[in-house]
Amino acid sequence: MSTLVIPVRMDDGTVEHFPSFRIQYNGSRGPTKGGIRYHPGVDEDEVDELAFLMTLKCAVAGLPFGGAKGGVQVDPEELSEGELERLSRAYVDEYHDVIGPQKDIPAPDVNTNAKVMGWMMDEYESVAGERAPGVITGKPPEIGGSEGREYATSLGGAVVLDEFVEYEGMGEELDVAIQGMGNVGSYLAEFLDERGYNVVAVSDSSGGVYDGDGIDVPAMLDEYRESGDLDGFGDAVTNDELLTLNADVLVPAAIEDQITDENVDDVRADAVLEMANGPTTPSADERLSERGVPVVPDILANAGGVTVSYFEWVQNEANEYWLETKVNEKLAEQMRGAFRGIRSVKQNGDLTWRSAAYVHGVNTVLDAEAHRGNVSR
């Protein structure tokens, strides 16, 4: 665990100091892996919890990584691009001794992106005095990023949903409501539409639309990506209303704590696919279980992103380039394997999907620790 204050020279010549964090939770399965978020509310407890969840997510996905997370207490909206770059490079300067391709591999997270990752990789290589593209994933493809990374989380979620629907015997042409039209939600709508699902509702932070006959997803995405406008593609609904629509599958793909004690009894979907991190509170999750509403947990549903980050790291370390088709095929194979591993635990223990995922993840980590001689199994 590292907690440091990062000094950054601002455009006006003053120096601001930003609290920062990097926590490596467990590395028994390999180098640790986890994003870096820029947010004014990030703190040590949050980063520690997220590092734990990354440990389980990597284990569930079958990746040879441990879990880590990082963050900086900053509102990036208040920084110029130059200040943002200096902050990002300063983060690497402060933490260069604890990160590395065989130590700890950061990636994008809240309010960080491929551009920030490019700055960080460049700074690490400057400090290390050698080429090391595998130190960071989520980079632009021009400097070692992987094909398919932009939509990997969504494609992985679509593969998991296909497996889940088949296992549960839910049928075809299912109605799906998606809360969140950021990168994950918009690509997921596209992939589900292509797979024959009926996307009946979508929303962003300002609200959404509902069409019981199904939204024209290609036209909606063209308009939304051009103008940010959902008007005209269905009846207006609020985000709260979307969560209570009568759909086969509800997909919270925005932010945490959306299904809570206050609204859980109004959720009418037959199943929930968690594409956001932590969108269901623990007590609401328990209530859904009591009602017989299965929840595909975030550490499985959205593991496609870290999986393709792993593929990026493999390509960097081997100095290889994989075509987009190869990346997508390997992602689908990895996600099916992850689903089936959790399915087996669920069947053997009569557990919820979330409990099975946690049990599977913890046991996978404990097995690694046992083989190292650190615990008895």
Closest CA to 268 of 246, 293, 242, 241: 246
Report residue 258's pLDDT band, with 50, 70 and 90 as the boundaries. Answer: confident
Q: What is the pLDDT of residue 320?
A: 95
Find the mean pLDDT for residues 80-101: 97
The H or E element spanning position 250 is strand 249-252
Considering the chain, what percentage of its residues have pLDDT values greater than 90? 90
- How confident is the prediction for the chain on average, in pLDDT? 95
Alpha helices in the chain (DSSP H): 44-60, 81-95, 114-128, 152-168, 183-194, 217-227, 239-242, 282-290, 298-301, 304-318, 324-349, 353-371
Let me know if residue 89 belongs to a domain: yes
193 φ, ψ (degrees, to nearest 5):
-60, -45
Q: Judge whether 103 is annotated as a binding position.
A: no
Q: What CATH number does the domain containing 280 carry?
A: 3.40.50.720
Judgement on whether residues 244 and 284 belong to the same structural domain of the protein? yes
**252 band by pLDDT with thresholds 50, 70 and 90:** very high
Phi and psi torsions of 256, nearest 5°:
-75, 165
Residue with the larger pLDDT of the pair 171 and 101: 101
- DSSP readout, 182-241? SHHHHHHHHHHHHTT-EEEEEEETTEEEE-TT---HHHHHHHHHHHS--TTSSEEE-HHH
What's residue 375's pLDDT?
A: 83
Residue in 69, 139, 326, 346 annotated catalytic: 69
Which residues are bridge partners to 202 per DSSP?
Answer: 178, 209
Indicate if 78 and 160 belong to the same structural domain. no
Measured between alpha carbons, how far is 6 from 88 in angstroms, rounded to an integer?
A: 10
51 in a structural domain: yes
In a shared domain, residues 211 and 249: yes
Q: pLDDT-derived band of residue 175, with 50, 70 and 90 as boundaries?
A: very high
Q: Residue 92 contacts by C-beta under 8 Å, 6 or more apart in sequence?
A: 99, 120, 123, 124, 127
pTM attached to this predicted model: 0.92
pLDDT greater than 80 at residue 311: yes
Domain range spanning residue 192? 152-301
Distances (CA, A) of 299 to 47, 69, 88, 273: 16, 15, 27, 11
Asked if residue 181 lies in contact with residue 206, where contact means CB atoms within 8 angstroms, the answer is no
Residues 193 and 292 both lie in one domain: yes
Q: What is the mean pLDDT of residues 163-179?
A: 95
DSSP bridge partners of 19: 5
What single DSSP character describes residue 363? H
The answer to whether residue 315 is domain-embedded is no
In a shared domain, residues 207 and 290: yes
User: pLDDT at position 310, please?
Assistant: 98
Give the tens place of pLDDT for each residue, 357-377.
999 999 999 999 999 999 876
- State the Cα–Cα distance between residues 119 and 218, nearest whole angstrom: 34
93: domain CATH number is 3.40.50.10860
Number of domains in the chain: 2
| Cβ neighbours of residue 338 closer than 8 Å, sequence gap 6 or more | 60, 61, 62, 160, 300, 303
Task: Look at residues 90, 85, 135, 155 and name the one whose alpha carbon lies nearest to residue 113.
Answer: 85
Q: What Å distances lie between residue 291 and 5, 243, 267, 297, CA to CA?
A: 47, 16, 10, 17
Q: Which of 143, 171, 192 is the last residue of a domain?
A: 143
My answer on whether 124 and 182 are in the same domain is: no
Question: Looking at the domain assignment, is residue 344 inside a domain?
Answer: no
CB 66 within 8 A of CB 30: yes
**CA-CA distance, 148 to 311, in Å (whole number)?**
10
Residue 116 belongs to a domain: yes
Percent of the chain exceeding pLDDT 70 equals 99
Ligand-binding annotation for 309, yes or no, is yes
Task: Tell whether 183 is in a known binding site.
Answer: yes
- Catalytic residue flag (residue 69): yes
DSSP per-residue string spanning 260-308: -TTTGGG---SEEE--SSS-B-HHHHHHHHHTT--EE-HHHHTTHHHHH
SS3 of 144, please? coil
| Side-chain half-sphere CA neighbours of 352 within 13 A | 19
Q: Helix or strand or coil: residue 345?
A: helix
Last residue of a domain, one of 301, 336, 353: 301
Q: Identify whether 249 is part of a domain.
A: yes
Sole residue written with tokens 């050698």: 130
- Domain contains 307: no
pLDDT tens digits, 321-356: 999 999 999 999 999 999 999 999 999 988 999 999
Residue 119 to residue 126: CA distance in whole angstroms: 11
Q: Which of 285, 301, 317 is the last residue of a domain?
A: 301
Give a yes or no: residue 78 inside a domain: yes
Based on the domain organization, do 178 and 276 belong to the same domain?
Answer: yes
CA 309 to chain centre: 11
